[in-house]
């Protein structure tokens, strides 16, 4: 739990550039490369770091349409809904949240007709509210300056 300042720095640096080498990280946190390697290894072991990935510009990748979909799932259909969601390729993120919109989805599609087809699949299990994403002014992996937060 209590990650120290250096581990936070490492997480922040890696979230901004997951390909930094241990030597580069070492310079940035004023430690030796093996010391950094050991810290990162432990962060992975603890499950704090769960993996490494690329950041993709979906628009440039040929996915021009992304949307958030608030889903007011019918009380008896929650389990079924969750199972469905996990099978739908277009779903990028799915949050189970408090409040009337039990699930919030982020989806990416190639066309409006694809989006329409997707909503059709959901409508049997929930009322949906679709919000088209126009821009994303902030996109991070985690909060900033976490060390400063009490």
Partner DNA sequence: ATTGAAATTACCGTTGA
Partner DNA sequence: TCAACGGTAATTTCAAT
Name which of residues 77 to 96 contact a second copy (CB under 8 A): 82, 85-86, 89-96
Closer to DNA by Cβ: residue 30 or 75: 30
Binding mask 110-139 for DNA (x = CB under 7 A): ------------------------------
Q: Which residues contact 77 (CB under 8 A, 6 or more apart)?
A: 125, 126
| Residue 75 touches which member of a second copy, DNA, none, C-beta under 5-8 Å by kind | none
| Residue 32 touches which member of a second copy, DNA, none, C-beta under 5-8 Å by kind | DNA
Residues 86-145 interacting with a second copy (rule: CB under 8 A): 86, 89-99, 101, 104, 107-111, 114, 129-145
| Cα 133 to Cα 40, 59, 69, 89, distances in angstroms | 35, 11, 10, 18
| Residue 56 touches which member of DNA, a second copy, none, C-beta under 5-8 Å by kind | a second copy
Closer to DNA by Cβ: residue 39 or 101: 39
Structure tokens at 73: 């799932």
**Bridge partners for 122 per DSSP:** none
| Cα 135 to Cα 15, 65, 89, distances in angstroms | 21, 11, 22
Please choose, from the candidates 7, 79, 64, the residue with its C-alpha nearest in 3D space to the C-alpha of residue 36.
7
Residues 22-61 interacting with DNA (rule: CB under 7 A): 22-24, 26, 30-35, 37-39, 41
The answer to whether 122 touches 71, Cβ cutoff 8 Å, is yes
Which residue matches tokens 């936070």?
8
């Amino acid at each position: 739990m209590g990650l120290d300042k250096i581990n936070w720095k490492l997480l922040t640096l890696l979230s901004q550039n997951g390909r930094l080498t241990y030597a580069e990280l070492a310079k940035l946190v004023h430690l030796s490369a093996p010391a950094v390697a050991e810290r990162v290894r432990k962060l992975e072991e603890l499950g704090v770091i769960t993996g490494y990935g690329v950041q993709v510009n979906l628009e440039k990748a040929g996915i021009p349409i992304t949307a958030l979909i608030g889903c007011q799932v019918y009380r008896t259909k929650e389990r079924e809904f969750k199972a469905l969601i996990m099978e739908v390729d277009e779903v990028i993120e799915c949050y189970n949240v408090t409040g009337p919109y039990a699930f919030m989805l982020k989806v990416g599609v190639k066309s409006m007709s694809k989006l329409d087809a997707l909503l059709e699949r959901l409508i049997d299990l929930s009322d949906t509210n679709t919000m088209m994403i126009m821009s994303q002014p902030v996109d991070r992996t985690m909060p900033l300056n976490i060390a400063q937060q009490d």
